[in-house]
Structure 1
Amino acid sequence: MTKEDVAVLAERIALLPKEARDELAQTIDEIGARHGVVYKLSPEENTAVEEGLAQAKRGEFASEKEVNAVLRKPWH
């Protein structure tokens, strides 16, 4: 695929509805994962991970009741 091909695809992607662009991004991530591409966290995701690690270091863990409440929610 050439740089020109990528540019044409970028123009086409820009015309898609947001939902379709989000779906495309997820698909690209899945393909990348199968080919060993490492996912780079967004700043927001990185902040959430850092907070979770800090909570773990402080010994702050979810209770069994909290875990069960999350696990019983339907997956979408």
Structure 2
Amino acid sequence: MKTFNLVAEELQETLDLLTEQAAAESLQEVVNLLNSKSPSLSSEVESNFQTCTWWDGDYYCQDENWQWHLLISDQ
């Protein structure tokens, strides 16, 4: 099971600041990292999100509406 959970507003702001400071990884880098762990999640991320970052032990990706989502996978 995998899910994309919308994050709280405060965390949205933190992640926005990270990406403004060029700390965000490119979408393709995160897709490549996820591909070895969970190919199906990797495909979904690539088709549903614009940018991603690794922060505080988790992957977060931003959709076309500028909303950040926490990526969760049990794989």
> TM above 0.5, one fold?
no
Structure with more helix by fraction: 1
In the superposition, the TM-score normalised over structure 2's length comes to: 0.29
In the superposition, the TM-score normalised over structure 1's length comes to: 0.29
Structure with more strand by fraction: 2
